[in-house]
Amino acid sequence: MFEEGDWRDKKLLGGKGAGLAQMTQLGLPVPAGFIITTEACRDFYKPVKEEIDVLVKELERNPTPSTRDRIISEIWGIIDSLSLPEGVMEQTRECMAKLEEKIGRKFGDPNNPLLVSVRSGAPISMPGMMDTVLNLGLNDEVVKGLSKLTGNEWFAYDAYRRFLQMFGKIVLGINEKLFNDRLDEVKRKYNVKYEVELPIDGVKEVVEEFKEVIKREKREFPQDPWEQLKLAISAVFRSWMNPRAIYYRMANKVTPEVADSTAVNIVAMVFGNVGWNSGTGVVFTRDVATGENRLYGEFLPNAQGEDVVAGVRTPYPIEKLKDISP
């Protein structure tokens, strides 16, 4: 749990987990959660470490594109065969029970649902290189309960369609274009530019379309939140060895002594898409370009984190927040 971790040990907790643990222990208002440490990720890769190390060494020799693609395919063929280390899910269930008690909601309960994000967290900053899944725990029944609990049906189904797309892309490896094409079709049907402009019937259509994509490309979407969680943890571990992450570490000369695996942070969801008085963004205490000592960042109202990264809508500079929400 964030209250318990030694935030000084980034090698074990990962940078994100260490930061959340430190802020929690300082009494700052951050979401509750817990960390599956980098040690579990090392155990995940342990059975195939020697094979993968050999293949990564080949990539470091800057092979031809065709050879590079073959090596990456081999790496992913090996990784796809891996299972979570023994005891990880048992300990995860124990920590989820503590999280449920702390939040006052229950994972998978349609009447009072707890949703979580499952986030990567390497010992060093690797922005955008690894994977995160938001809104995990939603299914066909929980989404109805979330709608009743919040009194906001649009928000509940928007969270569901976001989860389906992220789960399909990150956990199941489905081409994101298949989801975007279906979303664009529904937006054209309702003559809107942005998904935030869709009526509730349109958002529900997107949900059904996305489930159909998952079924056609891979399998039935898993309705069991615990299965969703298990698969998402594995996906975050796998993302340590995705091509982006491998080449980032090579380009930045990140050695195993500095970072050799990722932690997984399981955090109670805080929703930025509940309405126009909620949002998402990123902020720094200094201007990242000049070093000037001023608040610097950007935000999007009625959105979740991936909206800022994806560039679907243009974020506002942080200064505009005082005009929108004085």
Is 313's pLDDT higher than 70? yes
What whole-number percentage of the chain has pLDDT above 90? Answer: 68
112, 239: one domain = yes
Domain count along the chain: 3
Give the mean model confidence (pLDDT) for residues 141-169: 94
168, 190: one domain = yes
pLDDT of residue 119: 93
**CATH number of the domain within which 184 lies:** 1.20.80.30
45, 173: one domain = no
22, 98: one domain = yes
Sign of torsion over alpha carbons 184, 187, 191, 193? negative
Sign of torsion over alpha carbons 84, 87, 93, 99? negative
pLDDT of residue 147: 94
pLDDT of residue 323: 84
Max alpha carbon distance in the chain (Å)? 57
**DSSP state for residue 124 in the 8-state scheme:** S
Is 309's pLDDT higher than 70? no
Chain-centroid distance of CA 247 in Å reads 20
Is 88's pLDDT higher than 70? yes
78, 98: one domain = yes
**CATH number of the domain within which 128 lies:** 3.30.1490.20
Both structure tokens of 39: 């040690």
Encode pLDDT of 259-290 as tens digits: 899 999 999 998 778 777 788 888 888 988 88
**CB neighbourhood size of 188 (10 A):** 10
Sign of torsion over alpha carbons 127, 14, 105, 233? positive
309, 261: one domain = no
pLDDT of residue 310: 66
Q: Which amino acid is at 241?
A: M
Distance (Å, whole) CA 310 – CA 158: 16
CB distance 28 to 219 below 8 Å:
no
Give the mean model confidence (pLDDT) for residues 125-137: 88
Give the mean model confidence (pLDDT) for residues 90-105: 96
23, 80: one domain = yes
The whole domain housing 235 covers 1-139+226-271
167, 284: one domain = no
Give the mean model confidence (pLDDT) for residues 197-225: 96
15, 120: one domain = yes
**DSSP state for residue 106 in the 8-state scheme:** E
Report yes or no on whether pTM surpasses 0.75: yes
Give the mean model confidence (pLDDT) for residues 117-146: 92
210, 246: one domain = no
Radius of gyration of the chain (CA): 20
pLDDT of residue 15: 92
Encode pLDDT of 158-202 as tens digits: 999 999 999 999 999 999 999 999 999 999 999 999 888 999 999
Distance (Å, whole) CA 156 – CA 243: 34
pLDDT of residue 271: 78
298, 240: one domain = no
Encode pLDDT of 62-73 as tens digits: 899 999 999 999
41, 125: one domain = yes
**What is the pLDDT confidence band of residue 301, given thresholds at 50, 70 and 90?**
confident
Closest by CA position to 5, among listed 28, 25, 29: 25
